[in-house]
């Protein structure tokens, strides 16, 4: 609140500058750094001229701490504005085709004159699974420039939803993408049913998704995800040569 002169009272000014966020801005300000550098230089000259009296030594110590603090705040990464992006894969139904006979592979009658459908035999099945991929921001900090990558190993996976990297990912608006996993190959009834009914098909468990996003300060982060619903917040930038952007 302004006083009668149109200026902030001294108590308000002190309160503003001693709050953590304001103090941090003050300590990493270039003007503060120049004053501390001047104090360090002037303190050294003063101490030398006074035969290293304790007063200039205090000035040197305070200025030195200020310089070190400035360097740490400027060049050591500050992750307090980091978003926490995590993914989740949930099933959304599926389809299994009737078995198709395979020449010289599917079982025949005892006299070998005709093919038969029987449990345990190998047939050509088409199995399709639908999944919802939820991408959530589990933090109060918005995530920007969100990009999704998939491992470039061959998987029978296709993405049927589009997303915009220009849309920020906020805590209250998760991103949902439709994924289809489909296989068309020889297998038994049990194998086809296992793909249809399992939460994650066996040959889909090693599929890796990578989400890249930035904080408000445009610092880049990555989360690695596998269909077993495990999220890993990577500490180092991954090699994107092993991935392709979705």
**pLDDT tens across the length of the chain (246 residues):** 445 544 445 444 444 444 555 555 655 566 777 887 888 888 888 888 888 888 888 888 888 887 887 777 666 655 678 899 999 999 889 999 999 999 999 999 988 889 999 989 999 999 999 999 999 999 999 999 999 999 887 678 889 988 999 999 999 999 999 999 999 999 999 999 999 998 888 878 888 999 999 998 889 999 999 887 689 999 888 989 888 898
Q: Please write down the HEC assignment for all residues of the chain.
A: CCCCCCCCCHHHHHHHHHCHHHHHHHHCCHHHHHHHHHHHHHHHHHHHHCCCCHHHHHHHHHHHHHHHHHHHHHHCCCCCCCCCEEEEEEEEEEEECCCECCCCCCCECCCCCCECCCCCCCEEEEEEEEEEEEEEECCCCCEEEEEEEEECCCCCEEECCCCCCCCCEECCECEEEEEEEEEEEEECHHHHHHHHHCCCCHHHCCCCEEEEEECCCCCEEEEEEECCCEEEECCCCCCHHHEEEC
Q: Is the pTM of this model over 0.95?
A: no
């Amino acid at each position: 609140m302004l006083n009668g002169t149109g200026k902030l009272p001294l108590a308000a000014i002190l309160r503003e500058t001693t709050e953590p966020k304001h103090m941090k801005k003050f300590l990493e300000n270039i003007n503060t750094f120049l004053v501390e550098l001047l104090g360090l230089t002037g303190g050294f000259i003063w101490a030398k001229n006074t035969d290293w009296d304790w007063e200039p030594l205090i000035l040197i110590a305070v200025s030195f701490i200020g310089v070190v603090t400035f360097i740490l705040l400027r060049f050591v990464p500050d992750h307090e504005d980091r978003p926490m992006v995590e993914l989740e894969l949930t099933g959304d139904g599926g389809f299994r085709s009737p078995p198709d006979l395979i020449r010289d592979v599917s079982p025949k009658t005892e006299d070998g004159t005709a093919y038969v459908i029987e449990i345990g035999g190998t047939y050509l099945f088409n199995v399709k699974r639908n999944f919802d991929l939820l991408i959530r921001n589990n933090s109060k900090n918005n995530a920007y420039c969100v990009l999704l990558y998939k491992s470039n190993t061959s998987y029978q996976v296709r993405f049927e939803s589009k997303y915009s990297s220009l849309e920020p990912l906020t805590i209250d608006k998760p991103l949902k993408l439709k994924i289809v996993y489909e296989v068309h190959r020889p297998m038994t009834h049990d194998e086809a049913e296992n793909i249809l009914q399992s939460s994650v098909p066996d040959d889909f468990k090693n599929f890796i998704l990578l989400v890249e996003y930035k904080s408000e300060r445009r610092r880049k982060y990555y989360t690695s995800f596998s269909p077993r619903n495990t999220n890993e917040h990577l500490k180092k930038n991954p090699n994107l040569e092993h991935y392709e952007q979705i």
